[in-house]
Amino acid sequence: MPRQTHSCFRGQGATEYLIVLGAVLLVSIIVVSATSSFSSSQSTIKQQQSQAYWSSLSPIKVVSSKVVDSNLILQIQNTGSAILRLDGISVGGTNLPSYPYYADDSYGPAYCSRPNDNFSATMTCALMIAPGETIHIAAQGANSGVGTVINCTGKTSTEVPNIQFTYSTSGSSITNIILKGDKPLITSCGTKTCDVNWVKVPGNSSLLVNDFCLMKYEAKCSVTTGSCPSTDLPNSTYANRPWIAINQTSASERCSALGSGYHLLRDREWIAVAANVISIPANRFTANNGSSDQQQCLFGGHMECSGGSCAAAFNASSDDSAGWWNGTSNASISLTATCPFYTANPSGRGFETRRTMMLSTGEVIWDLSGNVQEWTEGTVFENKTGEGTNGYDDSFGITGGQMPFTPDVNTSEWYEFTAITNFNFFNYTNISSWNSAKGIGQVYLNPGYSSDGTTYNWTTRAILRGGHWSHGASAGTLTLSLSRTPAYHSSNVGFRCAR
pLDDT of residue 348: 58
Identify whether residues 478 and 348 lie together within a single domain. yes
Of 166, 190, 214, which one is at a domain's C-terminal end? 190
Q: In this structure, how many other beta carbons lie within 10 angstroms of the beta carbon of residue 249?
A: 16
pLDDT of residue 359: 97
pLDDT of residue 401: 66
Of 190, 216, 232, which one is at a domain's C-terminal end? 190
> Is residue 292 domain-resident?
yes
pLDDT of residue 455: 44
pLDDT of residue 59: 97
> Is residue 387 domain-resident?
yes
Structural domain range at position 199: 194-499
Q: Compute the Cα dihedral for 310, 312, 316, 317 and give only its sign.
A: negative
Identify whether residues 330 and 397 lie together within a single domain. yes
Total number of domains in the chain: 2
Identify whether residues 412 and 433 lie together within a single domain. yes
Segment (H or E) for 269 = helix 267-278
> Is residue 33 domain-resident?
no
What's the rounded Cα separation, in Å, for the pair 467 and 473? 9
Residue 214 · residue 365 · CB < 8 Å: yes
Identify whether residues 282 and 265 lie together within a single domain. yes
> Is residue 103 domain-resident?
yes
Contacts 24+ apart (CB under 8 A), 160-163: 160/67, 160/72, 160/91, 160/184, 160/185, 160/186, 160/187, 161/91, 161/92, 162/90, 162/91, 162/92, 162/93, 163/72, 163/89, 163/90, 163/91
Identify whether residues 279 and 135 lie together within a single domain. no
Identify whether residues 348 and 372 lie together within a single domain. yes
Identify whether residues 156 and 234 lie together within a single domain. no
> Is residue 305 domain-resident?
yes
Identify whether residues 458 and 476 lie together within a single domain. yes
Identify whether residues 124 and 201 lie together within a single domain. no
Q: What is the pLDDT along the chain (499 residues), one digit of tens a residue?
A: 444 444 444 455 555 555 655 555 555 544 444 444 445 566 678 888 898 999 999 999 999 999 999 999 999 999 999 999 999 999 999 999 999 999 889 999 999 999 989 888 999 999 999 999 999 999 999 876 667 888 888 889 999 999 999 999 998 899 999 999 899 999 999 999 999 999 999 999 999 999 999 999 999 999 988 889 999 999 999 999 999 999 999 999 999 999 999 999 999 999 999 999 999 999 998 876 544 455 789 999 998 887 777 788 989 999 998 887 655 444 444 556 778 787 764 445 677 888 999 999 999 999 999 999 999 999 987 765 545 444 444 444 555 568 888 877 766 789 999 999 889 889 999 898 999 989 999 999 876 554 444 444 456 789 999 999 999 899 999 999 998 889 999 999 999 999 9
pLDDT of residue 207: 95
Identify whether residues 94 and 207 lie together within a single domain. no
Residues 6+ apart with CB under 8 A from 381: 401, 402, 403, 459, 460, 461
pLDDT of residue 406: 81
pLDDT of residue 344: 61
Identify whether residues 199 and 176 lie together within a single domain. no
> Is residue 112 domain-resident?
yes
> Is residue 38 domain-resident?
no
Identify whether residues 158 and 274 lie together within a single domain. no
> Is residue 316 domain-resident?
yes
pLDDT of residue 426: 93
Which CATH number do you get for residue 69? 2.60.40
Of 175, 190, 205, which one is at a domain's C-terminal end? 190
